[in-house]
């Protein structure tokens, strides 16, 4: 290893440190440099208030970006679904690594699935998107808010405070706890958040050499195209990361090269109304595909659904 250590900014949670550690290891190997993690505390880490009370945008991101701008870290690692859709004037999204499985999962008492839980079962989630889609299933759940890390949420099921919780599979996988999952939810039942399962690696724009090095070391073009389409839908619907909007894009080999396919949903908070659309296109036109899909959703009434915002 050579040169001054590269400082990778990370939130202090176990999940954040775990996924940032994977990024640090990959950068160390690719760049032949020492890499160190620098923990940064964000507003979302120090408050027990519901995330929607922060306005839903940048709650886990701003402190890491501030550390980049101050020069306290060289690289910042985020869960991409937490990233505001508007570009930062001084910060580049240097790389989007290969995505983990973006689906949601259930951890329920006694190894049960959602369909096996009875009406009135208390199901925990801190996400309006998940809550709306749980209501839309029509299974009569008592959907209740919950905060805390993966361990805290699973422990609340074990202690009987909730009969089940819904989590992102990616986080559970990165922590090595997939054996506790009782059901993986089909996206037909529960579309994930735009960008879920993906990481965002940011650097200062003025450090163009570092941006290029990080991109070459970590970038996955198919993941970048997929999450670009998803996030454009979110941005065009003017919906923050806490809004009841789900989107999932995938890039797969077609007869004439790679094809991008995306589906999205916007829901009322109680799940009784929903606008669902899908579209295909070329990965190199990912943003255009996202724009066209969002336009169709607005025509179908998605905008009026999303006016029913979480306070």
**Residue 311 domain-assigned?**
no
**Residue 25 domain-assigned?**
yes
Interval 16-24 mean pLDDT: 96
CATH number of the domain residue 241 falls in: 3.30.160.40
**Per-residue pLDDT tens over the stretch 29-71:** 999 999 999 999 866 554 444 445 444 446 789 999 999 999 9
Shared-domain flag, residues 90 and 214: yes
**Residue 191 domain-assigned?**
no
Shared-domain flag, residues 202 and 92: yes
Active site residues: 81-82, 129-130, 147, 153, 241
**Residue 190 domain-assigned?**
no
The pLDDT of residue 311 is 46
Shared-domain flag, residues 178 and 124: yes
Which residues does 282 contact at the CB level (< 8 Å), separation at least 6? 257, 258, 259, 260, 289
Shared-domain flag, residues 266 and 235: yes
Interval 218-231 mean pLDDT: 98
Shared-domain flag, residues 254 and 284: yes
Q: Which domain holds residue 147?
A: 104-184
Shared-domain flag, residues 61 and 203: yes
Shared-domain flag, residues 171 and 148: yes
**Per-residue pLDDT tens over the stretch 228-266:** 999 999 999 987 666 899 999 999 988 888 999 999 999
State pTM to two decimals. 0.91
**Residue 193 domain-assigned?**
no
Shared-domain flag, residues 91 and 112: no
List, in sequence order, the alpha helices (H) in the chain.
14-31, 43-46, 62-70, 128-136, 150-158, 169-174, 208-218, 221-236, 286-299, 302-306
Shared-domain flag, residues 294 and 256: yes
Structurally, the chain folds into a number of domains equal to 3
Residue 305 or 153, more confident: 153
Portion of the chain with pLDDT greater than 70, in percent: 91
Domain boundary among 159, 184, 209: 184
**Residue 65 domain-assigned?**
yes
Shared-domain flag, residues 272 and 254: yes
**Residue 192 domain-assigned?**
no
**Per-residue pLDDT tens over the stretch 67-120:** 999 999 999 999 999 999 999 999 999 999 999 999 999 999 999 999 999 999
Q: Is the dihedral of CA 24, 25, 30, 36 positive or negative?
A: positive
CB neighbourhood size of 149 (10 A)? 15
CATH number of the domain residue 58 falls in: 3.40.190.10
> Is the separation of the CB atoms in 253 and 222 below 8 Å?
no
Shared-domain flag, residues 178 and 231: no
**Residue 43 domain-assigned?**
yes
Shared-domain flag, residues 285 and 264: yes
Dihedral pair phi/psi, residue 194, rounded to 5°: -55, 125
């Amino acid at each position: 290893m050579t040169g001054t250590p590269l400082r990778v900014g990370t939130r202090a949670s176990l999940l954040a440190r775990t996924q940032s550690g994977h990024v640090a290891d990959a950068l160390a190997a690719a760049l032949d440099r020492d890499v160190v993690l620098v923990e940064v505390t964000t507003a979302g880490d120090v408050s027990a208030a519901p995330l929607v009370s922060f306005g839903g945008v940048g709650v886990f991101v701003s402190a890491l970006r501030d550390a980049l701008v101050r020069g306290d870290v060289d690289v910042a690692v985020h869960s991409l679904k937490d990233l505001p859709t508007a570009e930062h004037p001084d910060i580049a999204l240097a790389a989007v690594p290969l995505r983990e499985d973006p689906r949601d999962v259930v951890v329920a008492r006694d190894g049960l699935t959602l369909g096996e839980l009875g009406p009135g079962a208390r199901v925990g989630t801190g996400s309006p998107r998940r809550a709306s889609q749980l209501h839309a299933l029509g299974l009569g759940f008592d959907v209740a808010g919950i905060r805390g890390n993966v361990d805290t949420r699973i422990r609340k099921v074990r202690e009987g405070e909730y009969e089940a919780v819904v989590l992102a599979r990616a986080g559970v996988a990165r922590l090595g706890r997939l054996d506790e999952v009782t059901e993986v939810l089909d996206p037909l039942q529960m579309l994930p958040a735009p960008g879920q399962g993906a990481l965002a690696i940011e650097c200062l724009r003025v450090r163009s050499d570092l941006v290029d090095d990080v991109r070459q070391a970590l970038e996955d073009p198919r993941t970048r195209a997929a999450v670009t389409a998803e996030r454009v839908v979110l941005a065009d619907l003017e919906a923050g990361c806490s809004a009841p909007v789900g989107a999932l894009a995938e890039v797969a080999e077609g007869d004439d090269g790679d094809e991008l396919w995306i589906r999205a949903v916007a829901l009322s908070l109680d799940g009784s109304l929903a606008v669902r659309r899908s579209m295909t296109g070329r990965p190199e036109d990912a943003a255009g595909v996202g724009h066209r899909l969002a336009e169709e959703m607005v025509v179908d009434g998605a905008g009026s659904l999303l006016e029913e915002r979480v306070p």
